[in-house]
């Protein structure tokens, strides 16, 4: 996923790890190993993305970041190929669970919104505004405590 440079470093690193870690839940066909292999929600265009979906998308980014923080150090520290693969599989499941636990969001919707935001500056700006609002709220909470 690539958003404009205003995106915080934490969220950029989130998406960098999410791409190789995400896999769909087990089905009869082999599960995809990257976000690019998961089919986006068909027909979802930038102008159809609601404010609720933008908020859910940002919440999903945060959920993915939590998974990244948990699993990336373990994956990077593991040199054994089989153990590393097992950790990646665990991280895949955790990412799917994290995104699916976000109200009003699914992996397919997440991918569709991501692709739409890459192609549509207005949607990207809406996402960036939501991120900035969360960052401002977080900074205000920190300074008032």
Do 6 and 128 meet the contact criterion of CB atoms below 8 Å apart?
yes
Residue 30 lies in a domain: no
Cα 99 from Cα 108, distance rounded (Å) = 10
pLDDT at residue 109, as a whole number? 94
**pLDDT for 10:** 37
Domain count, the chain: 1
**So what's the pLDDT on residue 141?**
74
Rounded-to-integer distance, Cα 101 and Cα 121, Å: 27
* Residue 90 domain-assigned (yes or no): yes
Note the pLDDT of residue 112. Answer: 93
For the chain, residues with pLDDT lower than 50 are: 1-29
According to the model, what pLDDT value does residue 9 have?
36
Q: What is the pLDDT of residue 97?
A: 87
With CA atoms as reference, report the closest residue to 21 among 9, 40, 37, 41. 37
Q: What is the pLDDT of residue 27?
A: 39
Q: Are 75 and 91 in contact (CB under 8 A)?
A: yes
Residue 122 in domain: yes
Owning domain of residue 117: 44-139
């Amino acid at each position: 996923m690539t958003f404009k440079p205003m995106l915080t470093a934490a969220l950029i690193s989130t998406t960098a790890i999410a791409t190789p870690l995400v896999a769909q839940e087990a089905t009869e066909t082999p599960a995809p190993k990257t976000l690019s292999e998961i089919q986006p929600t068909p027909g979802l265009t930038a102008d159809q993305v609601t404010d609720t979906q933008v908020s859910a998308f940002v919440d999903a980014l945060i959920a993915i970041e939590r998974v990244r923080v948990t699993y990336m150090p373990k994956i990077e520290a593991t040199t054994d190929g089989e153990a590393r693969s097992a950790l990646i599989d665990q991280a895949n499941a955790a990412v799917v669970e994290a995104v699916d636990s976000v109200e009003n969001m699914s992996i397919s919707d997440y991918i569709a919104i991501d692709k739409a935001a890459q192609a549509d500056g207005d949607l990207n700006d809406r996402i960036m505004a939501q991120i900035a609002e969360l960052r401002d709220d977080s900074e205000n909470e920190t300074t008032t405590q």
